[in-house]
Structure 1
Amino acid sequence: MRFFSRCFPGNAGPFGKQVFSHRQFFLIQALTSHASMAYPTSVINAFDNSQDSSTETALILIRHGESLWNEKNLFTGCVDVPLTKRGVEEAIEAGKRISYIPVDIIYTSALIRAQMTAMLAMTQHRHKKVPIIIHNESEQAQTWTGIFSEETKKQSIPVITAWQLNERMYGELQGFNKRETAERVGKEQVHEWRRSYDVRPPGGESLEMCSQRAVAYFKDCIEPQLKSGKHVMVAAHANSLRSIIKYLDRLTSQEVISLELSTGIPLLYIYKDGTFIKRGSPVGPTEAGVYAYTKSLALYRQKLDEMSH
């Protein structure tokens, strides 16, 4: 049940014990074994690109666009606030930058700013598939969100939300202005809370703690999708993505604390033969070099261009 509870969370809160009904258990079992039981299993299977293990697959990482609390310079953490107008524009621009890169399945955090970013980005994709959030939180949610048209399923992309990809929880700092907090308790103390690897803010998580949950989820749930031949997009947060990049690039705890991620800028990795190859950030929808990094990406772009004519 460890894989099931990590990859397909139900009703329990972030740190709660996971409990499944019999129906949920068998639904999850079918989902992970590629059975064709019912939605969401059928939606995911509709995009089963399973290929030889040596095939290259794409991994796109996107930090959410600017949020309303980013704009106000507040500690946000796990508080669930939406994007600003600028954040919406950043998400759309990110979508243009990845519009020719294949996406078979999307993972986001449980927070609205990451989900908005993923959805807005996909409105720009040349394939025109529709991202659809999978609801496993109850038996009724599974039933009511079912898709019964096979043709529609083929034109959809499953979106899985996971609290493990949430931003680092900033504890008692959440909601406070960063500048004012630095003036009150000292810049050095705030810098230590924000940039140390293993120091926790009061009542919150250290980057190390955030890394443990985010990387464990990536290894258990996302990496197997890449190995099976699926192209994956992850929309999450500065610290959960820094944690994943630490794992992908094999950074030290000192190297990761200086890693900066801009809002709304996608990063591209290629997964092949158990290795992650960093390709940087796609510069724009017409930047041919990004798509010529690998033969498979170049062929995918050519196919999309042919479909549009």
Structure 2
Amino acid sequence: MDVILEELGLKHTNYVITTNTNIKEELQDTRFEGSMPVLQTWRLNERHYGAWQGQRKPDILKEYGKEKYMYIRRDYNGKPPKVNLNLEMVQEENDQGSSTGYDFKEPNRHLKYGPEEKANERLPESESLCEVVVRLKPFLNNVVLSTANKISQESCVIVGHGSSVRSLLKVLEGISGEDIKDVDIPNGIPLVIELDRDNYSFVRKFYLDPESAKVNAQMVRDEGFEKNP
């Protein structure tokens, strides 16, 4: 984290925006601990894959077939079946997820998302990328960009997931619903998005490690098609 912030020129970053992750623990290992506030929001969470969550992609591919599998994964409006919210996740000792064969059950969101429920936030049972954009866009406009304008902020770090990053790019870069299906986000490689100082319109984007980003983005697209999954 220290190296990433230095490379991005963010030694004086105003704040970090993240999902419900352990970013505070990661900052403890850097010189930036306590130097910037961390804002957490469920609106940056990964897309909710409904009944697909916790299942192995090769198994889903086999069940649904390539065309429907890719439509639901990549199309702007593709949406998995809804999850049963009456169930809770049961994790055994040393459970490694779906590789151990347990059936995924939705986590108890009454505990995890108590504040959101009190605020009458409508939490998803399944999502298309379009729906991720709908829940993320108000936060982007009314919190991130609005705050940047009020305090003349030059930079911030946003920690998200593949689908939330795709959604950010769709809004900021103005990518069409048709073209967004071809946008793949590599895991763990910092992406810089540069906006105009005056009107926050999109200027450019680039990865700190473009070669690794290209390779890893293709790996993301090919998930489920591995010969020996």
Matched to 1:130, the amino acid is: E
Question: Structure 1: any 5+ residue segments left out of the alignment?
Answer: 1-90, 132-155, 285-309
Question: Structure 2: any 5+ residue segments left out of the alignment?
Answer: 83-125, 211-229
CA deviation string 1:234-278 (max 9, x = no partner):
101111111111111111011111111111111223331112322
Contact kept in structure 2, 1:96 and 1:121, CA below 8 Å = no
CA deviation string 1:192-223 (max 9, x = no partner):
11011112110111110011111121111101
Shift of 1:171: 0.3
Aligned position for 1:30:
none
Aligned position for 2:13:
103
1:278 equivalent in alignment to 2:211: no
Contact kept in structure 2, 1:106 and 1:233, CA below 8 Å = yes
CA deviation string 1:90-118 (max 9, x = no partner):
x67645643655411111112x3xx44x7
Could you tell me the TM-score, scaled by structure 1's length? 0.48
> Aligned residues: percent identity?
23
Aligned position for 2:138:
216
CA 281–192 in structure 1, closer or farther in 2 if over 3 Å, else same: same
Q: Distance in 2 between matches of 1:276 and 1:123?
A: 33
CA 119–258 in structure 1, closer or farther in 2 if over 3 Å, else same: farther
Q: Distance in 2 between matches of 1:241 and 1:176?
A: 22
RMSD: 2.4
Shift of 1:183: 1.1
Q: Distance in 2 between matches of 1:263 and 1:129?
A: 23
CA 233–119 in structure 1, closer or farther in 2 if over 3 Å, else same: farther
Q: Distance in 2 between matches of 1:277 and 1:179?
A: 38
Aligned position for 2:94:
none
Contact kept in structure 1, 2:5 and 2:11, CA below 8 Å = no
Shift of 1:232: 1.3
Q: Distance in 1 between matches of 2:28 and 2:182?
A: 30
Aligned position for 2:33:
130
Contact kept in structure 1, 2:80 and 2:127, CA below 8 Å = yes
Q: Distance in 2 between matches of 1:119 and 1:234?
A: 16
Matched to 1:201, the amino acid is: P
Which portions of structure 1, spanning 4 or more consecutive aligned residues, are displaced by more than 2 angstroms? 91-102, 118-124, 281-284
Aligned position for 1:205:
127
SS of residue matched to 1:225:
helix
CA 122–214 in structure 1, closer or farther in 2 if over 3 Å, else same: farther
Shift of 1:283: 4.6
Contact kept in structure 1, 2:10 and 2:156, CA below 8 Å = no
Aligned position for 1:227:
149
Matched to 1:167, the amino acid is: E
